[in-house]
Amino acid sequence: MRNSSGSFIGRRKPAVATVLLSLAAGGLVLAGCAKKSAESEAIKIGVVLPITGREGKPGQYQKEGIELAIKQINDGGGVQVGTRKLPLKEVFYDDGSDSAKSAQLVERTMSSDGVTAVVGGYSTALGEAESVMPDRYQTPWITPGAAASSIFAHGYQYAFGTLTPVNLLGYTTAEFLGTLVDQGKLKKGLKIAMALENTDHGVDYGHGIEQWISQHPGYFKVVFSEKFDLGGTDFSGLLQKVKQAKADIFLSDAHLQDYITMQRQYIQSGMKHQMISYGARGPEADARKALGEGVDYIFAGIWWSDKLPYPQVKKFAADYQAFTGRKVDSWYAATAYDSVRALATAIQAAGSLDKTAIRDQLRKLDMKDSLVPGQVLKFGPNGQVNYPFVIVQNKPEAKVDIVYPKDAATGEVIAPIPAGKK
C-alpha cells in the first residue's frame, strides 16, 4: 500500500541498528550455545580433598598435582575418546579434613554432578570414608593419598589407589635399618620404641616393622609401642614413656602436623636416639620451616622423591615449580598427578565415558612412564599399587638424599645420628 506521495506504508524497513543488535544477539546466543556444548562435552572429574583443616597442606599439594595434570592434558587437546578429543573439567570440593563431610561430597559428585570419576581422599581416615561410595554409584575412584590396606580389603570393584600399602612402608623401614646393621653402622640387638597413630595407617606401619623383625631374629627388639590420636597438641606424656623405655631407635608413624608437633616436643624432652623416623614424613619444607636444624638426620620412607633419576621426574619437578612458583619438596603432588594421568589413559583405552569400561581399563593399566619408584604404575587385583618405597634422610643445610635402596641413592646415610645431635 502506498501513501499520497507514492511511498510504501504498513511495512517499514527495520532500522540498521536494530538489525545489528539482532545479529549481535544471535551471535551471543550461538557463542553461548557453543560454550554450553563444549562444557557439556567435557569429561567431569570430581576432586575431593582437604584444603582447610589439619590435612590442608598435603591436600593443597595434591590438588596442585591434579590441576597441573589436567592443564597439561587439556593444553595437549584433551583426552581422545573414540573419534573426539575432550577436555577434562575439575569439579572440586574441600572436605575440611572431616571424614563425614568427605564421604558426603564424594557421594554428591557421583550422584548429582555427573562426574565420570573421582580423585580424592588424602589421608587414611578420609580415604576410608570415601571408599564406600564408588561401588554404590559404580563410579571409578582413585585415591592418591590413602594407603591403609583396610581400604582395599573389602573387595571393592571401583576403588583404586596410587600409594603402595603402609605395611610395606613399615617393612621397608625395618629392612633399611637392618642393612645398617649389616654394614656395621648400627649394632645388632638394638631396642626400638614405636609411637603409632591410632588409625589403620598406624596399625599397618607397626605390623610391617614387626613382620621384618620376626623374619630376622636378633637384629632388633621392640621394647615399647603405643598409639596416639590424630591432631594432638601435647605428646609429652607419650614421649616421657618413650624416654623411660630407654630404646636405641625411635620410630613414629605420624601425619605432617603431628610430626612437627611431636618432633618439637621430642627436642624439648632432651631425648637422643641413634636413629629417628616419622614414617612417611620427614623432608617436608613445612617441617624444616617450623623446626630448622631440629629435623636434621631424620629419615623417612616415602612414595616418591624428586631425586629419582628419571627424565619424567625432572620434567615434573620443573613443571610443578613453573605452575605453582614453588619447588616440589614432597611426594603429595606426584602421586596425585599420576592419578589423573592414569585415569586419562584408562578413558582413552575405553574409548568412551562408560564408567564400567573405564574401570576395566584401570584394572589393566600398565603405565610405564610413571613418576613412581620403578617407573611403572600398575594396580593390583585389589585396586592398590605395589611399587617400592625409597628411604630419604634429612641432612644439614636443608639437604635431602635418597639413601636406600642403593641403586637409587644420591648420598650416603649418616648413621647413627652424630653425638650432640637430637
Task: Give the domain ranges of the chain.
Answer: 41-164+308-364, 167-302+390-408
Q: What pLDDT was estimated at residue 12?
A: 44
CATH class of 41-164+308-364: alpha beta
Between CA 175 and CA 91 the distance in angstroms is 41
pTM (2 decimals)?
0.84
Q: What pLDDT was estimated at residue 18?
A: 47
Q: What pLDDT was estimated at residue 41?
A: 84
C-alpha closest to that of 123 among 140, 101, 98: 98
| CATH match for 167-302+390-408 among 3.30.70.380, 1.20.910.10, 3.40.50.2300, 2.40.40.20 | 3.40.50.2300
Q: What pLDDT was estimated at residue 6?
A: 44
Domains 41-164+308-364 and 167-302+390-408 alike in fold? yes
Between CA 407 and CA 399 the distance in angstroms is 19
Q: What pLDDT was estimated at residue 421?
A: 59
Which residues does the chain have with pLDDT short of 50?
1-14, 16-25, 27-39
- Output the CA torsion sign for 294, 296, 302, 305: positive
pLDDT digits (tens, 9 = 90+) for 39-98: 458 999 999 999 999 999 999 999 999 999 999 999 999 999 999 999 999 999 999 999
Between CA 42 and CA 90 the distance in angstroms is 10
The residues near 175 (Cβ < 8 Å, ≥ 6 apart) are 212
Q: What pLDDT was estimated at residue 54?
A: 92
